[in-house]
Structure 1
Amino acid sequence: MTETSAQTISEIYKRQKVFFASQKTKSIAFRLQQLKTLKKAILQYEDKVNEALWKDLHKSKEEAFLTETSLLLEEVSYHIKHLKAWAKPKKVGTPLQIKPSRSKIYFEPLGIGLIMAPWNYPFQLTINPLIGAISAGCCAVLKPSPDTPNVARVIEEMISEFFPSEYIAVVQGGKETNQELFKFPFDVMFFTGSPGVGKIVMKAAAEHLSRVILELGGKSPCIVDKEANLKIAGKRIAWGKIVNAGQTCIAPDYLLVQKEVKTELLAEISKSFKEMLGENIANSPHYGRIVNPAAMNRLKKYLEGDVYYGGKINLEEKYIAPTILNNVQPEDEIMQQEIFGPILPVMEFIEIEEALSYINKNEKPLALYYFGKDKGAEKVLRETSSGGACINDTLLHVANHKLPFGGVGNSGMGKYHGKESFLAFTHERGVVNSTTKLDIPLKYPPYKFFGLIKKIVG
């Protein structure tokens, strides 16, 4: 893939500064038209996107629709429906001591956004933040991942066909391109990826005091207690782990299961793998591949443990079967970082406090999953912290546009989806409008009515 030159990046940034200064993007009519144009582009390019996703990740068209295209179509439609209401200035109350002034919040675009996308959901996680940027009235520079080059090329083709580069542009490349982009004072930097790279982005943003939204990851735990419906739990955990071959930032990273139901649960998970993907999983059209040889070699090291199910690997095909590792210990290598693959390590507990203690000793995860009764769920939610959570399911919270999506602590900062995407690229400007028909003297020296002021403020 040809990397975008430093000169081209500089020219794009300068042109977008000029275009944003023209005030054109602030028009609600303009924003709505661009959202509709983006929706048209997504639909028109769906087949090309599906083909590219198959080449890069062996992702089926069904999974591509469910995890990439459909989410975008729902998101953009949601913005089209609600943008006028979101962007309308909001009246708020005014304290007695500054009346008869009036107070409002105005929602204004931040300016130029840099959107840096990952490779695991390369289309959805590039375009989803863009919806927020368009909705808010910003310009945007998109940087797709070079690890999924076919999708990156399709994104560039689609964006260049439907949008002028002074409004929305795509730049291509790896670390060198990132470093070049970091030289420019973007008004907001939106990054999805690992915590390690997220720290680099945040340092770069600090040089310009740019706003940052960091959508990171971490080791998302899945807790199953003895009161859970094990058949349902097994099926939903298996599904959460095989989607995109486990290369999902909110995939159940590891399993914490109550000891007395572990054997039955693992049998149900194994059974579900077979039911969904068949006996010969390598031939399933609905099971993805690992993104590149480097990721394969990293994951291969984890398969040396106590393999309960799976464990088959084909380096040439970048294939790793869904795998369950039993009797894993906290000090094992697989428990030291996010797995990002179809391997499920299993640890057991006797009392729920053991599981919660382990979770709370580690970094706050992007997601947390609990299978059991409502009372147990309330305890888990009350005594842990995570970016998001599901009770008796996995992954689904990402699909609700009325829920904020984002991390906490090591798993990220800032949030998006639905209205939160609009707000991610928006400055909420507080404005007080004072009348000139009346000028109350309380605020002026020599403060003759100071006693009255204290009573009012107090």
Structure 2
Amino acid sequence: MDNIQEVVNLQREFFQSNATKEIEFRIAQLRKLESLLRENEDALHEAIYKDFKKSVFENYTTEISLLYHDIKEAIKNVSKWSKKKRVRTNLANLPARSYIIPEPLGVSLIIGAWNYPYQLSLAPAIAAIAAGNTVVLKPSELPINTSNAMAKLINENFNPNFFKVVEGGVPETTALLNQKFDKIFFTGSIGVGKIVYQAAAKNLTPVTLELGGKSPAIITENCDLKITVKRLIWGKFLNAGQTCIAPDYVVVHRSIKDQFLEMAKKEIEQSKFLVEEDNYVQIINDANVERLISLIDADKVYTGGKYNTETRIIEPTILTDITFDHEVMQDEIFGPVLPVIEYDDLDAIIAKIKERPKPLACYVFTKDSEAKQKVLDQISFGGGAVNDTVMHIANSNLGFGGVGDSGIGAYHGEHGFRAFSHYKGILDKATWIEPELKYYPHTKSKLKWIKRLIG
């Protein structure tokens, strides 16, 4: 185990030198990271394939390409994001100028997740670097090969006083959380998120928590069913369902339920998840395989349901005749199991969803603008899409984050820069005049003028 306290202390010293506050320094580090990623793409592909058979195609499209996008966007915009911004000065403070200065928070801790190990570790790091922070990165230990690959890439090429990967499991994470950081960014489960939040509270450290929850997909009777099924099946079974914003369950209008199920089964068959080589990933470990198998009620299986514990493969599975009381509806599934609930009344199903913790995502498939607006207005969730799934994460202008149990704060694009910055408000006052109204002695005449000026 690294001497974690020393790592943090050296990063704090480096941050206090003000080196990271120079825009040229930040851009140089981002360019360096991009070059290293490109030079080591093959090694990154190989590592993640060893962990859970994620193909080159999926690794590039769902992880590496998003990192390239984030780096290019940060390099292009970091100067603009970092500039002081003039704001209006109120009457009571005239004559003066008012402005806001973004400044880096300091030494940041980023705890990554296992399901998209490169993207969910390095995307926050890119935002932290762009904002001028130092970074201690703790990748998930479950995909050990990707953790090793990131540690090798970063620790052999960056100054550890600026950017350092600390590998390990619970003991190392606990040791890190016992240190004082200026920012903690965590991606993972709600349970661990609460532990991180409690640890951060001891030092009043600001946090961003990217958690999860049971994200619903609502299908109304007048949707475009063909495109609905295609987009929903893709979003659900991408990464074998191990996606925090995957549709966790479907609520579909009773009048089209049977048709939906038939088309969903055909879409799964046409996608050839288990036929084409490298078209489907493994479940991350044996514990999650057993957990997911326990959720598959054989009497409720419409299609799929088979599994191989040795290869850690679970077929894309659809469960039907499900209610909110079934076991599969109690916690986030995080795997290739899709429960289908039918409904008659949209208002009633919205009320049912609202009874539960706020999800990270919500999707509505409909041609009815009134139904669409009702879902968007009445259900609180982190982010989502109309007539699509998952793809909102690809638009960095939207920001990405949860609400309530699904998380705190947001990132991507400028939202990520903001997550690792403090916005310092400055009043720059002129000295050539100084009204006497606020000074002692207080008089009725002064109070009268103050009421006239500022109400």
TM-score class, shorter:
over 0.9
Partner of 2:355: 361
- Aligned counterpart, 1:237: 232
CA offset digits 1:266-298 (Å, max 9, x no partner): 1111111111226xx165411011000000000
Q: Report the AA paired with residue 80 of structure 1.
A: I
2:284 to 291, 299, 314: 291
**Are residues 1:304 and 2:301 paired?**
no
Aligned twin of 1:250: 245
| Residue number in structure 2 paired with 1:413 | 408
- Contact 1:116 1:143 (C-alpha < 8 Å) held by counterparts: yes
Q: Residue 74 in 1 paired to residue 65 in 2?
A: no
1:342 aligned residue (336, 341, 344): 336
Quote the Cα distance in structure 1 between the aligned partners of 2:442 and 2:217.
Answer: 62
Cα deviation per residue 1:134-154 (whole Å; 9 max; x = unaligned)? Answer: 001000100000100000000
Structure 2 CA distance for aligned equivalents of residues 288 and 303 of structure 1:
19
How many Å separate the matches in 2 of 1:277 and 1:415? 35
Task: Confirm or deny that 1:451 pairs with 2:448.
Answer: yes
> Could you list the runs of 5+ residues in structure 2 that have no partner in the other structure?
none
Q: How much does 1:190 deviate?
A: 0.2
Aligned pairs (5 A) from 1:143-154: 143-154=138-149
User: Which position in structure 1 is the counterpart of 2:323?
Assistant: 329
Partner in structure 1 of residue 364 of structure 2 = 370
- Among 183, 186, 189, the alignment partner of 1:188 is 183
Give 1:42 shift. Answer: 1.5
Question: Once the 2 structures are TM-superposed, how far is the Cα of residue 182 of structure 1 from its aligned partner?
Answer: 1.2
Contact 1:282 1:319 in 2 (8 A): no
Which amino acid in structure 1 is aligned with residue 284 of structure 2?
A: V
Name the amino acid aligned to 2:449: L
SS of the residue 2:217 aligns to: strand
Which residue of 2 is the match for residue 200 of structure 1? 195
- Within the candidate set 156, 161, 164, 1:161 is matched to 156
* Residue 55 (structure 2) pairs with residue 56 (structure 1): no
**Cα separation, 2, equivalents of 1:209 and 1:282:** 51
Q: For 1:22 and 1:366, locate their aligned partners in 2 and report how far apart those are by CA, in whole Å.
A: 39
Tell me, in whole angstroms, the C-alpha distance in 1 between the residues paired with 2:29 and 2:196.
28
- Decide which of 390, 399, 416 is 1:395's aligned counterpart: 390
Letter in 2 for 1:175: V
Quote the residue 1:10 is aligned against: 5
Moved more, 32-41 or 382-391: 32-41
One-letter code aligned to 1:285: D
Select the residue among 17, 22, 26 that pairs with 1:22.
17
Q: Deviations over 1:309-337 (max 9, x none)?
A: 10110000000000000001211111000
Please list the CA deviations of residues 37-82 of structure 1 after superposition, one character each: whole Å capped at 9, or x if unmatched.
1111121121111111111121111111111001110111011111
Is this contact kept in 2: 1:216–1:366, CA < 8 A? yes
Q: Shift in Å at residue 159 of structure 1? A: 0.6
Structure-2 separation of matches of 1:147 and 1:108:
34
Task: Please give the root-mean-square deviation of Cα atoms over the aligned residues, in Å.
Answer: 1.0
* Residue type at the aligned position of 1:385: S
SS at match of 2:325: coil
Please identify, of 282-291 and 153-162, the stretch whose mean Cα deviation from structure 2 is larger: 282-291
- Gap runs ≥5 in structure 1: none
CA distance in structure 2 between the partners assigned to 1:53 and 1:268 by the alignment = 32
Please give the alpha-carbon distance, in whole angstroms, between the structure 1 residues aligned to 2:292 and 2:175: 31
1:84 equivalent in structure 2: 79
Q: Distance in 2 between matches of 1:433 and 1:271?
A: 66
Listed one character per residue, the Cα deviations across residues 361-405 of structure 1 (whole Å, up to 9, x for unaligned) are 000000000000233211110111100010000000100011110
* Structure 2 counterpart SS, 1:156: helix
Q: Distance in 1 between matches of 2:116 and 2:97?
A: 46
Post-superposition offset of 1:107: 0.5
The whole-number CA distance in structure 2 between the counterparts of 1:253 and 1:221 is 6
- Find the counterpart in structure 2 of residue 427 from structure 1: 422
| Alpha-carbon distance in 2 for matches of 1:133, 1:162 | 18
1:162: Cα distance to partner?
2.5
Superposed, which structure 2 residues align to 1:213-228 within 5 Å?
213-228=208-223
Are 1:114 and 2:109 counterparts?
A: yes
Aligned partners of 2:71 and 2:197: how far apart in 1?
A: 28
